[in-house]
């Protein structure tokens, strides 16, 4: 039976590597993105994976494997954080996970098989100054997954979280290079940023039949930067 996997935010960065990893593992993959038509077009042309545009922040969307990867940052110190920055990040990074998982849950229950894999963050585990909105949403993703894992277990659905550390994508390359080299990389014991493919391999494993006994777990993939 062909399994379908939907990867939100699957056209760039970590999501693109996840889409390709799942395709190479035999899944029929659909990638979602928000608005960057050019990047999505290039991704589809290079990989043969179709990309579909909608915002996970909207409720209105059948897949055996759901990878909730779409995410944004709107960083500011709390005293300067606007309600808009708070809402945008909560809507996308936390409500987006509800919006995508809820419509697919019934189908997974009916089929007695499902995989929900959500990309949280090291900063949802340890908190990060300047990212109260992002840390709250990403910690929320972990709570969401632990609770839902208990509901899905008897229906053959596993629900897990991956918490990447700093991964070399546009999101991280947007950080000032001096800050990256002098403050962030020295905090990573392996001495480098992670690669998107290193996260994609965790996803491919959690999506597999072999991972059926793993649910409610949080996989930390951060080069030793933080032990949750």
Distance CA 20, CA 76 (A): 33
Catalytic positions are: 134
77, 18 in Cβ contact below 8 A?
no
* Minimum separation from the CB atom of position 110 to ligand NDP (A): 26
Considering only 151, 170, 176, 182, the residue that binds ligand NDP (CB under 6 A) is: 170
Task: Decide: is 185 part of the binding site for ligand NDP (CB under 6 A).
Answer: no
Which residue is associated with the tokens 């014991």? 189
Sheet strands side by side (includes 50-53): 50-53, 28-33, 4-7, 65-68, 114-119, 157-164, 218-221
* Minimum separation from the CB atom of position 167 to ligand NDP (A): 4
Task: Decide: is 39 part of the binding site for ligand NDP (CB under 6 A).
Answer: yes
Task: Decide: is 119 part of the binding site for ligand NDP (CB under 6 A).
Answer: yes
96, 45 in Cβ contact below 8 A?
no
* Minimum separation from the CB atom of position 59 to ligand NDP (A): 12
Task: Decide: is 189 part of the binding site for ligand NDP (CB under 6 A).
Answer: no
- Mapping DSSP to helix (H, G, I), strand (E, B) and coil, where does residue 113 land? coil
The closest alpha carbon to 149, from 139, 162, 163, 161, belongs to 161
What is the x/- site pattern for ligand NDP, positions 46-85, by CB under 6 A?
Answer: ---------xxx-----------xxxx-------------
Which residue is associated with the tokens 């839902």? 148
Residue (109 or 226) nearer to ligand NDP, CB = 226
Considering only 20, 29, 32, 97, the residue that binds ligand NDP (CB under 6 A) is: 32
Residue (108 or 203) nearer to ligand NDP, CB = 203
Distance of CA 207 to the CA centre of its chain: 13
How many other CB atoms sit within 10 Å of the CB of residue 186? 9
**Residues at the site binding ligand NDP, with contacts judged by CB under 6 A:** 8-9, 11-15, 32-36, 39, 55-57, 69-72, 92, 96, 119, 121-122, 164, 166-167, 169-172
């Amino acid at each position: 039976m062909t399994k379908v996997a939907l990867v939100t935010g699957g056209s760039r960065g970590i999501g693109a590597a996840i889409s390709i990893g799942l395709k190479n593992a035999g899944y029929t993959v659909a990638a979602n993105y928000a608005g960057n038509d050019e990047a999505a077009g290039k991704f589809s042309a290079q990989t043969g994976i179709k990309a579909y545009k909608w915002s996970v922040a909207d409720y209105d969307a059948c897949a055996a494997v759901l990878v909730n990867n779409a995410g944004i940052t709107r960083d500011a110190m709390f005293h300067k954080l606007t309600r808009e920055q708070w809402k945008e990040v909560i809507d996308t990074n936390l409500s987006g996970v509800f919006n995508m998982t809820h419509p697919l849950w019934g189908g997974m229950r009916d089929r007695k098989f499902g995989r929900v894999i959500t990309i949280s963050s090291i900063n949802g585990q340890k908190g990060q100054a300047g990212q109260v909105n992002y840390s709250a949403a990403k910690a929320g993703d972990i709570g969401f997954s632990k609770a839902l894992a208990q509901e899905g277990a008897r229906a053959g659905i596993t629900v897990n979280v991956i918490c990447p550390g700093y991964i070399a994508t546009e999101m991280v390359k947007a950080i000032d290079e001096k800050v990256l080299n002098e403050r962030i990389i020295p905090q990573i014991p392996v001495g480098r940023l992670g690669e998107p493919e290193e996260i994609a391999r965790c996803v491919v494993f959690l999506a597999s039949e072999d991972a059926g006994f793993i649910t409610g777990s949080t996989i930390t993939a951060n080069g030793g930067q933080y032990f949750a």
